[in-house]
Every structure is written in structure tokens, then in C-alpha cells.
């Protein structure tokens, strides 16, 4: 039997509440907003040709952080989403909430570039992994996790998998480039990434590039693929505030969904209180448009 979205959410919320009652104050769900349903425009099930990217921010504090992150992802329900600044333990908790509260089952692959006890917990001699993660509703194969030769002030890299989006196989990349003041370092990183992307006729590149669209280091990516933000290209990035939709709390566009051999249908940016970056998702050609109050639609 398949439950409708409302019934599934109610059943998941009841299960989480029972967990709190059984496990007491130490339960991870203590104090979380269990009574908050998803927005009315949430699809309620994974959208098969929707992809997204989100730098979930680390270190970031706050009560119920991973529950809130799971709710944000469930509201968009993409087939695939790339996460950056992702601790393994945080992603596992997010996946648990997605499954147990919202009925959304995601597989995961990790592209950790750091083992950091202070940032990601674990034990001092076995610290938690930090880096990229890809969540996919379909199985993933041919995983590649590569660290850039020069990460800048912190190790950086990309994660790549093959999975299904819209029922068709596609190579998906997830990356986080060097910090915003390290343009020369990003130049080398983009060269490595672009070389890997160029091997595939159909590819989706997700991530936080820490660079605005007209930054010279992004040139190789623009030569290979197009971003899903329809009015934002290197030649228009300086044309005014409305040319590119900001993806960060400081009103810059740093986050991208680059498509190679694939056509986008929508581009939506969803601001979130759970990160200093906004969740960005796009429906690919043939997908359905979903209205959303704070989303930024692109049109056909």
C-alpha cells in the first residue's frame, strides 16, 4: 500500500515523536518542529527530472539544523542533489529524516576531502569525513572522488557518479572550488574539472564555484556547458542586479547547475535559514513546473 503525501508525513511525524518518547531527551529529534508540514506546493515524491545543489554550510549552528535541511530538500524533492561542506554524520541524519519523516528514500555517495574531528565529530583518531555528497533516488555507479592538486586554503575536490535523471543515464559532478579570494587556485581547479566533464556528452555539474559568472577562471566551464539561470551569462553578469539570481546571503551568484547535452526547463532558487547559501534546483527538459512562493522561476 502506498500512502498519500499527507498520510505519509503524519505517519513519519508520529514515528519520530514515538522515538522521542522512547529515547528521552538524548534522542536526536528532541525539540524539532515535528508539527510543521511541507508547503502545499511540495511534490510529495521525488521529481524524476529535477536536480539540485546546496552548500549546506559548515560550521553552522542552531537547533534542529539537519531536520530543517531535510525539510528543505523534501520541499524540492529532486531526483539528484549535490551537497557541499557536507559532514558524513550530518548527511546520514538528513537522509534518515528524509526517509522516516517524509518518505523520500535517497542513496548516497561521498567525496570527502578532509577528516576533521573539530568540524565533523567522530573520534580524535577516527574523525568524520567532510567534503561533497550526492543524494540520488536511483542507484549510482562508477563513483570517482578526486582531490584537486591545489585546494587553496583548504582541500577541495569533486565527486562524480553515473545515475538516472528523467529516466536516462547521465554523469553527475559535484564540486566545491577554492575560497572566493583565491581566483588563481580556482583556475587550476576548473581546468581539472572541465577535462573530466568534457569526456561526457551528457553531464550535469553541480556545486559551489565561489565565483561570479564573469570570473575569468570559469571560462572553460562556460565553453563546455550552460548554466540553468536563463539571464545569467558571462557577458551579462555585470548588466545589473537582475541579470543573475543571487544564491548566497551576501547577494552573489556562486552556485551553479551546469548542463552539457541537456536542456533546462526551470531554474529555482530557494533561500533557506539553514545555510548561508540558497538551495538551487532545476527541472530538465520534459519536466513539470512546480509553482513556489519564494522560488525564482525561469519560464520555459
Q: 8, 38 in Cβ contact below 8 A?
A: no
Task: Evaluate whether residue 294 is within a structural domain.
Answer: no
Q: What is the mean pLDDT of residues 29-33?
A: 47
Q: Report how far apart, in Å, the C-alpha atoms of 153 and of each of 126, 132, 165 are.
A: 23, 17, 34
Within this chain, do residues 13 and 96 fall inside the same structural domain, yes or no? Answer: no
The per-residue pLDDT for range 200-256, each reduced to its tens digit, is: 999 999 999 999 999 999 999 999 999 999 988 887 655 544 679 999 999 999 999
What letter would DSSP give residue 170? E
The rounded distance, in Å, linking the Cα atoms of 74 and 97 is: 9
Domain CATH for 243: 3.60.10.10
Looking at residue 63, what is its pLDDT? 77
Return the minimum-mean-pLDDT range out of 37-41, 96-100, 163-167.
Answer: 37-41
Q: Are residues 1 and 131 in the same domain?
A: no
Range of the domain at 103: 39-283
Contact 163, 139 (CB under 8 A): yes
Q: Is residue 101 classed exposed, middle or buried when 0-12, 13-18 and 19+ CB atoms within 10 A define those classes?
A: buried
pTM: 0.84
Q: Are residues 33 and 171 in the same domain?
A: no
pLDDT exceeds cutoff 70 at 18: no
Of all residues in the chain, the percent with pLDDT exceeding 90 is 72
pLDDT at 11: 53
Same domain, 198 and 212: yes
On whether both 47 and 29 belong to a single domain, the answer is no
Same domain, 140 and 24: no
Shared-domain flag, residues 3 and 68:
no
Lowest-pLDDT choice from 145-159, 170-184, 240-254:
240-254
Residues 60 and 7 both lie in one domain: no
Number of domains making up the chain: 2
Query: Is 297 part of a structural domain of the chain?
Result: no
Confidence of residue 289 (pLDDT cuts 50, 70, 90): very low
The one-character DSSP state at 106 is -
In a domain, 291, yes or no: no
pLDDT digits (tens, 9 = 90+) for 46-68: 999 999 999 999 989 877 899 99
Residue 22 pLDDT greater than 90, yes or no: no
Tell me, yes or no, whether 56 and 2 share the same domain: no
Q: Quick check: is 189 in a domain?
A: yes
Domain check: are 1 and 132 in the same one? Answer: no
* Inside any domain, residue 22: yes
Amino acid at each position: 500500500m502506498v500512502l498519500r503525501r499527507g498520510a505519509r508525513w503524519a505517519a513519519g511525524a508520529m514515528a519520530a515523536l514515538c522515538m522521542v518518547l522512547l529515547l528521552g531527551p538524548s534522542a536526536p529529534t528532541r525539540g524539532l518542529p515535528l508539527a510543521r508540514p511541507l508547503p502545499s506546493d511540495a511534490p510529495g515524491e521525488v521529481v524524476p527530472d529535477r536536480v539540485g545543489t546546496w552548500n549546506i554550510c559548515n560550521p553552522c549552528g542552531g537547533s534542529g539544523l539537519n531536520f530543517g535541511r531535510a525539510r528543505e530538500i523534501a520541499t524540492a524533492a529532486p531526483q539528484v542533489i549535490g551537497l557541499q561542506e557536507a559532514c558524513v554524520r550530518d548527511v546520514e541524519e538528513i537522509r534518515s529524516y528524509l526517509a522516516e519523516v517524509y518518505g523520500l528514500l535517497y542513496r548516497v555517495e561521498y567525496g570527502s576531502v578532509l577528516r576533521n574531528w573539530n568540524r565533523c565529530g567522530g573520534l580524535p583518531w577516527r574523525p568524520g569525513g567532510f567534503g561533497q555528497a550526492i543524494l540520488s533516488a536511483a542507484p549510482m555507479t562508477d563513483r570517482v572522488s578526486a582531490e584537486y592538486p591545489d585546494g587553496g586554503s583548504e582541500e577541495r575536490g569533486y565527486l562524480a557518479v553515473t545515475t538516472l535523471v528523467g529516466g536516462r543515464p547521465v554523469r553527475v559532478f559535484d564540486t566545491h572550488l577554492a575560497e572566493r579570494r583565491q581566483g588563481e587556485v580556482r583556475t587550476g581547479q576548473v581546468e581539472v574539472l572541465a577535462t573530466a566533464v568534457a569526456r561526457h556528452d551528457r553531464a550535469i555539474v553541480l556545486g559551489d564555484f565561489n565565483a561570479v559568472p564573469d570570473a575569468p577562471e570559469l571560462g572553460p566551464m562556460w565553453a563546455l556547458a550552460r548554466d540553468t539561470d536563463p539571464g545569467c551569462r558571462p557577458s551579462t553578469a555585470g548588466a545589473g542586479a537582475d541579470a543573475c539570481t543571487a544564491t548566497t546571503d551576501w547577494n552573489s551568484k556562486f552556485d551553479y547547475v551546469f548542463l552539457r547535452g541537456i536542456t533546462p526547463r526551470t531554474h529555482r532558487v530557494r533561500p533557506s535559514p539553514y545555510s548561508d547559501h540558497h538551495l538551487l534546483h532545476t527541472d530538465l527538459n520534459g519536466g513539470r513546473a512546480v509553482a513556489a512562493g519564494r522560488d525564482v522561476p525561469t519560464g520555459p
